[in-house]
Structure formats: structure tokens, C-alpha cells
Amino acid sequence: MTEGKLLITGINGRIGSLIRDPLQDHYQVYGCDISGPFSERVLKMDISREEEVQGFFEEHGPFPFLVHLAATPDVDAPWEKVLQANIIGTRNIYHAARASGTRRVVFASSNHVTGAYEGFPPRLHTTLDPVQISVSDPIRPDSDYGVSKAFGEALARYYYERWDLASICLRIGSVLEEDDPTRHQRHKKTWLSHRDLIQLVEKSLSAETGFGIYYGVSDNTGRFWDLTNATEDLGYRPQDNAEEVK
């Protein structure tokens, strides 16, 4: 028995492609993206166009559950792209979700909300015993992209406080196409394995927490993001450690 309809925005991206099949065991999964492939349940939508987003939700919704991944993913993306996709687009999604009766959103935030703690260029990966960064620490975005994800977290909080739309914001670490953290020194600390990613999203969708911000990272030796609240609130228990990957 499924939990109901679930919409994944940006379903054809790296993370969407990883979570869509596992989530089909529990949800009726629908998807949208700006580029294909498309199918009966995966449809084209430009989230920066408000009328297009509203029409999509009216025609195919309601979606009690939503995983919002669609965004410009490049940390160095120009401001205009960040503005249209990550800021205007995220607001359009939340507005349509609330209007159509969505109960819970999992928002793909980013570790770049606090990326400036690592310096310019990043240097925390060279520290033997780095200071743990928790969600209670002030944000320190490292880019327009990081700022846009901080905006998404603030928007999620606003919609929860005003309209009781539950949101889990995940500051996702390094999700790698080949799931191999050994090729880059920083990835040994920031890697989020594919199976830990799937577990984290599943836990976020089924959580009773109304609003929360959590880091998404595997249990890597020397990781510098605190997972305490993810363990306590969501029951997230990562299975992988980059130091054990050969």
C-alpha cells in the first residue's frame, strides 16, 4: 500500500535519478523537469514560470508529498540563472504546493549555505581535526548559489510558520555520479553515498518533525558537519564511511 502521490521536481537530475525507483515502493511517484526524458508520469515544467507551475499542480495534483530538487546546480552559475531557478522557481513551487494541499516538502538545500566556513578556496579538508559545523551555527554562504539555498530554507520556514506546510531542508553534501569518494580529498569528508542519500530522503518524508534543517553526509571519518539532530529527529543512521572505500 502506497502513502499517496509524490512529486519529485528535477527528477531527471543526478539525485532525482537515484531516489525515484526506491521511492516507488511507498509512493505513486510523479516527476517534472525542464529536460527529458519524459513519460506519462514525468512531464516537462519550467519552475521559473509561475503560471506553468500552477497549471501543472492543478492538472496533475494534488501531491501530498513533494521532493524539491529542481535548481541550477552549478555553484559558479551566473546570478540570473540562480535567481530564476533557485529563488523564483522555489517560491513558485512552495506557492503551488500550499495552494494544492501538499502536506510535506523535502527541500534540497546545500552545504554551500555554510561553505564559507571552509574559506576561499576551501581549506577545511586539510585540517586534521576540523571543527564540527551544526545547523545552529550562523549561515555563511560561499556563492550566489549558497545564498539561493539559504533563501529556500527561509522560505520553507515561512510556509511552515504561516500555513503549517511541513518542510525538511537537507544541506546535501557530495553526491557523486560514480559513488566513489576516493578521487578528491574533500570528498573523503563530504561524501553522501547513494544508499545513505536514499535513506535520508525516505526518513525525511516519513518524519513527524514539522520543520528542520539537517546536514546530509555519510559517516565519514573527519566529516565536519554535525549529524546529531538528523539522528535524533529523523532516525538517520548513515551506513557508509569514505575511509572504508577502497
Joined together, the cell numbers standing for residue 150 give 539559504
- The count of residues in the chain is 246
> Cα–Cα distance between 79 and 93 in angstroms, integer?
20
Query: What pLDDT is attached to residue 46?
Result: 98
pTM, full prediction: 0.95
CB within 8 Å of 12: residues ≥ 6 apart: 31, 33, 35, 36, 37, 42
CB within 8 Å of 1: residues ≥ 6 apart: none
- Smallest CA-to-CA distance from 156 within 115, 202, 102 is with 102
Domain count, the chain: 1
Joined together, the cell numbers standing for residue 76 give 559558479
H/E element, 110? strand 104-110
Chain segment 187-233, per-residue pLDDT in tens: 999 999 999 999 999 999 999 999 999 999 999 998 999 999 999 99
Chain segment 161-180, per-residue pLDDT in tens: 999 999 999 999 999 999 99
Active-site annotation holder among 30, 145, 159, 215: 145
User: Domain of 114?
Assistant: 5-244
Portion of the chain with pLDDT greater than 70, in percent: 96
Confidence of residue 122 (pLDDT cuts 50, 70, 90): confident
Q: What is the mean pLDDT of residues 91-119?
A: 96
Query: What pLDDT is attached to residue 128?
Result: 47
CB within 8 Å of 42: residues ≥ 6 apart: 11, 12, 30, 31, 32, 33
Query: What pLDDT is attached to residue 119?
Result: 85
Query: What pLDDT is attached to residue 129?
Result: 53
Torsion angle, alpha carbons of 57, 63, 66, 71, to 10: -10
CATH code at position 202:
3.40.50.720
Chain segment 45-81, per-residue pLDDT in tens: 999 999 999 999 999 999 999 999 999 999 999 999 9
Instruction: Give yes or no: 145 in active site.
Output: yes
- Any idea which residue has 518542510 for its cell? 167
pLDDT above 70: residue 143:
yes
